[in-house]
Amino acid sequence: MVRTPVLMFIGFLLLASADAAAASPDAGTARSVEEASKRVQSARTALATAVQRIEKEPPSNADLDAALAAVEALKDALNAGASFETEDLEYAKTVLAARKELRTHRQYVEERRAKVHIHEFRRRIDGALATVNERMAKLGQGDPGPKAMDEARAAVEALKKLADEGRPLTNQDPKFAAYLTEVDATIARHEKTIDERWLQQSAQKQRGLLDERRKALSTALAELGKAWSDEKFAAADTAAAALQKQLEEGKPLEERDRAYRAEAEKARAEITQAKRRMDELVVQAGVSRVKVELGPAHEELVAAAKALRARRPTPEQLAEAKTAAFVVRKLVEKYEPQAARSQAIGQYLAEVKNTLVEVEVALQVRSLDAARADVLQALRNLEKRTVTAEQFEEAKTALVVLEKTLETVHAKNPAISPAAAEARQLLKDGRATMERRRYEVDLQQQRVKVDEARKNAAALVSQVQKETPSEAQLQEAENAIKQIGVVLEAGAHFVKKDRDYALYAKETKERMAELSERVNRKKIVLAAADARAQLAERLATTKEKLEAAKRVSATDGDVETASKSVDEVMKMFEARAELERQDAGYAAYAERARAEWLKLVEALEFAKQARALRRVTGESLAAANTASEAAAASADLRKRNALYASALEKLKACQDDGARMVKENASLATVDVLVGGVPTRPQEVMAQCAQKAEALQEPQKRADVQLRFNEGPRKAYDSAKALLSKGRKSEALAQFNECIAEGRILENRYPDFKEQKFDVGGTNMSMLELIQVCVKERKPLQSAP
């Protein structure tokens, strides 16, 4: 948390440097003195502006970062033009002044950044100091709990960490250094206060616990003195141990707290007195008390030992001996503390232990013999010809039982050591035998699995060879072949260990390759038959669509459909190119089909040309007729003129393009073109286009002349009259001039129409008459001042 402002500061610095680099795309060496001078001057201006922004109080972090970036930009600009400083005097002078500015501004920017950084650190330290004072005030009120103590210590640690982070800034500001010295003194004072309160609370708590343990020991000794019992003796012994443990836990406090040290010394003396008193009570109780409880169990153990000395004790006798040994062992452990305090009790327990060891040794030898017998029987089962997984598990379990039994016996006892040695050897030999048989059985089972996979794959491959298999059957056969590989991979470790299996695995892989080749050959045959059928169907479909494209009524859509069908045939050839290399029969059929396809391509090309000829002749003639009829019926002069022009353009295309296409391909001359639903030869259609074009020349020229007259001289005349009525003589004069000029141009372009009458303001005038009127109207205006 404390380092966040520093990280933000570094991030702003890197970002500003990146922006500065991005702002100067020519961040490398300058290419000329002029370029270097411009760059330096630009950087100087930018730095001066950035410095002015950080002079305000307080400056923003963004302005400080921008100022630092401007310093670096000026430095980069100077470095980029360093090679020109010894070549150009004016540039050298500029650089000298810029370097002085760089040094001065950089120092100022660094000082401003440092002051802002110190101010930020002091603000944060003040906040942390306020938190510390608040926590310490709570610590001084009443009896604070552990939570208040932990919060106060954490606040002091946070303040101390923050002060350490700001310590490098003391070299830049003496006032900040003095401020940190005061903070350090406050931290030391608070740490001392916290330690004292912690010691006070810890000692108080420890004294309370110590008093509880002392009282418990005193109570246990008082109860033991009233009347002896093993439970009371154990309680007194436990209380003494608990008091001793409490003293050890409070040992560090004894050196720092005298009052607690005195209490601890008293407790140690009480422990010594308690042990002495317990020894006295044990002696007073004597051996007779121990024999009362241990005697009957000892007699049972003696009887069990006698039974175990027989050659073959019964299972009941073995069970009774185990139970008796268990009971005596627990009672001996119970009275071990008294035996340490009484010699007579210790001697009696030693006699009991001798009998106990005899019985335990006999039982351990018997248990070893039984575990060895189970292992031997399990190993004999593994040597049979057929071994099951359950028998391996039984042998494994028997070995584990023998191993665990060995861990529980006294192997160093002379009576047990021979049997233990035999058991260890049996463990070693048994594991080796089990591992060997496991390998042999696994190898046998692996060969069985491979054989089954091979038989299954061979049967499925034979099935797909005899009939026309489905895709599912082929996939099933391939999966069966792959399964052989899966089974072989599972037994790969046998290849290095067994030479016979390695040869068997190699032969199996060769068999896999053979089966795969047979399936692939069948797939190729089936694919070839399917490809021939699809190709034949596609060729037939293409022929039908091509016939439709050849008809006199064929549309562009029919031709496009036929073209796509021809392309699809080609794609079928390309998609099955590999199949031609794999199957000779299909390759021969494909070659014949390709020759047929080439004929279809030629027919398609002719159909395209015929369709283009029909479009440019018959359809153009029909469109021209429609346009001319619309022009004759249109009252809009401009639209009429455009329709006539469009009709003439289509008729010209009919004649020129049609003649060119027939010339390029003489066969097109025999193609029929629909004209009004009647099949007609292209030459006749082109002749009709010529006749129609000649008939439209006159009405089109008349419409063009009238349009030009209306938009030229007439429009200028009407405009001049309107301007003259408003007294705008100079503008009216210009329009009369425009009327005369446009009229002369129109007269020269269409001399046949110069006498034709046109409507001008409700009066019929020819072009010559209108020109004369404009000349007449212009004269007074020319002489006007």
Q: Of residues 441 and 265, which shows the higher confidence score?
A: 441
CA distance 749 to 728: 32
Residue-level pLDDT at 536: 92
Whether the upstream peptide bond of residue 58 has omega within 30° of 0, thus cis, is yes
**739: pLDDT strictly greater than 70:** yes
Please name every residue paired with 763 in a beta bridge, in sequence order, or none if there are none: 760
Q: Give the mean model confidence (pLDDT) for residues 257-270.
A: 73
In a domain, residue 566? The reply is yes
Q: Which helix (H) or strand (E) holds 312?
A: none
Q: Of residues 774 and 464, which shows the higher confidence score?
A: 774
The 10 Å CB-count burial string (b at 16+, else e) for 481-512 is bebbeebbeebeebeeebeebeebbeebeebb
In a domain, residue 257? The reply is no
Residue-level pLDDT at 540: 93
Q: What are phi and psi of 715, to 5 degrees?
A: -60, -40
In a domain, residue 641? The reply is yes
Mean pLDDT of the chain: 79
Are the CB atoms for 723 and 735 separated by under 8 Å?
yes
CA distance 156 to 637: 99
CA distance 251 to 260: 10
671, 720: one domain: no
In a domain, residue 152? The reply is no
Residue-level pLDDT at 24: 42
Most confident of 201-215, 275-289, 372-386: 372-386
Residue-level pLDDT at 544: 92
655, 777: one domain: no
Residues 8-60: tens digit of each pLDDT = 333 433 333 434 333 444 445 767 888 888 888 888 899 888 877 777 766 76
Q: Single out the residue in 102, 117, 137 at which a domain terminates.
A: 137
Residue-level pLDDT at 155: 80
Residues 297-354: tens digit of each pLDDT = 777 777 767 766 766 777 776 677 778 777 777 777 776 676 666 666 667 677 777 7
> How does residue 62 score in pLDDT terms, banded at 50, 70 and 90?
confident
In a domain, residue 298? The reply is no
Lowest mean pLDDT: which of 154-163, 699-708, 735-744?
A: 154-163
In a domain, residue 744? The reply is yes
Q: Which one-letter DSSP state was computed for residue 470?
A: -
> How does residue 563 score in pLDDT terms, banded at 50, 70 and 90?
very high
Q: Of residues 314 and 382, which shows the higher confidence score?
A: 382
pTM (predicted TM-score): 0.42
Residue-level pLDDT at 54: 72
132, 54: one domain: yes
Q: Give the mean model confidence (pLDDT) for residues 663-689.
A: 89
Are the CB atoms for 367 and 404 separated by under 8 Å?
no
647, 578: one domain: yes
> How does residue 641 score in pLDDT terms, banded at 50, 70 and 90?
confident
Q: Give the mean model confidence (pLDDT) for residues 678-705.
A: 88
Residues 760-775: tens digit of each pLDDT = 877 888 888 888 889 8
Q: Which residue range is the domain that position 10 belongs to?
A: 4-137
Lowest mean pLDDT: which of 85-94, 605-614, 717-726?
A: 85-94
Lowest mean pLDDT: which of 356-370, 456-470, 599-613?
A: 356-370
654, 738: one domain: no
Residues 385-427: tens digit of each pLDDT = 788 888 888 888 888 887 787 777 766 777 777 877 887 888 8
For 528-596, the three-class secondary structure string (H helix, E strand, C coil) is HHHHHHHHHHHHHHHHHHHHHHHCCCCCHHHHHHHHHHHHHHHHHHHHCHHHHHHCHHHHHHHHHHHHH
Q: Single out the residue in 627, 661, 680 at which a domain terminates.
A: 680
> How does residue 277 score in pLDDT terms, banded at 50, 70 and 90?
low
Q: Which one-letter DSSP state was computed for residue 675?
A: E
In a domain, residue 109? The reply is yes
727, 590: one domain: no
CA distance 375 to 380: 9
> How does residue 750 score in pLDDT terms, banded at 50, 70 and 90?
confident
539, 673: one domain: yes
Q: Which one-letter DSSP state was computed for residue 59?
A: P
Residue-level pLDDT at 23: 40
CA distance 46 to 16: 13
In a domain, residue 328? The reply is no
Sheet strands (E) in 139-272: none
CA distance 465 to 495: 33
Residue-level pLDDT at 222: 72
Continuous H helices in 665-756: 682-709, 715-725, 729-749
> How does residue 141 score in pLDDT terms, banded at 50, 70 and 90?
low
CA distance 728 to 306: 156
Are the CB atoms for 656 and 620 separated by under 8 Å?
no
Q: Single out the residue in 120, 137, 154 at which a domain terminates.
A: 137
Residue-level pLDDT at 344: 63
Residue-level pLDDT at 742: 87
Are the CB atoms for 731 and 778 separated by under 8 Å?
no
> How does residue 7 score in pLDDT terms, banded at 50, 70 and 90?
very low
**138: pLDDT strictly greater than 60:** yes
The 10 Å CB-count burial string (b at 16+, else e) for 408-422 is ebebeeeebeebbee
Indicate the number of domains in the chain. Answer: 3
* Burial of 208 per CB tally in 10 Å (0-12, 13-18, 19+): exposed
CA distance 620 to 607: 18
CA proximity to 416, closest of 357, 465, 462: 357
540, 668: one domain: yes
CA distance 267 to 207: 11
Residues 356-371: tens digit of each pLDDT = 676 767 776 777 777 8
**560: pLDDT strictly greater than 90:** yes
Q: Which one-letter DSSP state was computed for residue 60?
A: P
Distances (CA, A) of 708 to 159, 625, 656, 765: 96, 24, 29, 15
Sheet strands (E) in 291-416: none
Residue-level pLDDT at 683: 92
Report CA Rg, the chain: 59
Q: Of residues 198 and 680, which shows the higher confidence score?
A: 680
64, 123: one domain: yes
Are the CB atoms for 251 and 218 separated by under 8 Å?
no
Q: Which helix (H) or strand (E) holds 168?
A: none
CA proximity to 706, closest of 617, 776, 631, 652: 631
Q: Give the mean model confidence (pLDDT) for residues 465-475.
A: 81
Residue-level pLDDT at 526: 85
> How does residue 90 score in pLDDT terms, banded at 50, 70 and 90?
confident
* Burial of 389 per CB tally in 10 Å (0-12, 13-18, 19+): exposed
CA distance 313 to 229: 39
Residue-level pLDDT at 2: 36
729, 657: one domain: no
> How does residue 192 score in pLDDT terms, banded at 50, 70 and 90?
confident
Residue-level pLDDT at 225: 59
Q: Of residues 560 and 474, which shows the higher confidence score?
A: 560
**384: pLDDT strictly greater than 90:** no
> How does residue 128 score in pLDDT terms, banded at 50, 70 and 90?
confident
631, 713: one domain: no
777, 656: one domain: no
Residue-level pLDDT at 6: 33
CA distance 681 to 688: 11
Q: Give the mean model confidence (pLDDT) for residues 489-497.
A: 86
CA distance 369 to 319: 16
Q: What is the CATH number of the domain that holds 735?
A: 1.20.58
**541: pLDDT strictly greater than 90:** yes
